[in-house]
Amino acid sequence: MRYGRQVLDRDDAALVAALRARDDATFTQLVREWNASMLRVAQIFVPSRAIAEEVVQETWLRVLNALDRFEGRSSLKTWVFRILVNTAKTRAQREGRVVPFSSLRDPGRVPESAVDPDRFRPEDDERYPGHWSSPPRELPEEQLLAAETQAVVERAIAALPASQASVISLRDVQGWSAEEVCNALDITEVNQRVLLHRARAKVRQALEDYLAPETG
């Protein structure tokens, strides 16, 4: 497991000072590091990749224009992503899209099983209620990092609801901490974990279906 894909090691004050000094190398570095995450988050709110790219552009313009007001009360990353979320919400309203706040704020409202309930013995089973009837199958270790396996995982993430896709992308692909994700998306720890749980459960199922398909 990797923690933090971050290449940036300068502190926020130095980054902000460099941006204020119009240093385009620093800007490029931030753009490269955060672009994939910014697109993911924008896509929670807006319907297409193309609009998400416009939202990211608009966000950077707002960030630059507001740079003199950055006080360092949150990290630069959190501040930028909060502006991104606001920009994306405004854009979504303009697009006439009903913003799925509930998918972030109240993801637990609609129950969802991590594993198909049919894979367990029924509640009224005399001896082993709720125990596996179709147990998990061992995944072949040597195929885990194959390109085909990675493509399966990419497709599974792409098929997730946008809020779940964002959380698993930030946490597990980009290596953000739980706290960073909560701050950037302004969601509670519990909701962050619900979204992560559901996302990981579906990716796990996709991996099992691909690497250890049910036989017979």
Partner 1 sequence: MSAVEELSCQELVELVTDYLEHALEPGDLRRSEEHIAACGKCTVYLRQMRQTIMVTGALPGGEISAEAEQQLLQVFSGWSST
Applying CB under 8 A, the residues found at the interface with partner 1 are 1-2, 5, 22, 24, 27-28, 31-32, 35-36, 39, 53, 56-57, 60-61, 64-65, 113-115, 117, 120, 129-132, 135-139, 141, 144-145, 149-150, 153-154, 157, 168, 172-175, 178, 189, 193, 196-197, 200-201, 203-204, 207-208
CB of 16 to partner 1, least distance (A): 14
CB of 96 to partner 1, least distance (A): 25
Nearer to partner 1 by Cβ, of 99 and 212: the residue is: 212
CB of 52 to partner 1, least distance (A): 11
Tokens of 64: 């630059």
State the residue for tokens 């309930």: 117
Q: 162 and 149 in contact (C-beta within 8 Å)?
A: no
State the residue for tokens 């809020």: 163
Nearer to partner 1 by Cβ, of 96 and 135: the residue is: 135
Number of CB atoms found within 10 A of residue 45's CB: 28
Q: 195 and 100 in contact (C-beta within 8 Å)?
A: no
DSSP 119: G
Nearer to partner 1 by Cβ, of 110 and 145: the residue is: 145
Nearer to partner 1 by Cβ, of 106 and 189: the residue is: 189
CB of 128 to partner 1, least distance (A): 8
Per-residue three-class SS string for 10-69: CCHHHHHHHHHCCCHHHHHHHHHHHHHHHHHHHHHHCCCHHHHHHHHHHHHHHHHHHHHH
Nearer to partner 1 by Cβ, of 71 and 118: the residue is: 118
Number of CB atoms found within 10 A of residue 142's CB: 7
CB of 123 to partner 1, least distance (A): 9
Nearer to partner 1 by Cβ, of 98 and 138: the residue is: 138
State the residue for tokens 């991104």: 84
CB of 130 to partner 1, least distance (A): 3
What is the chain's length?
Answer: 216
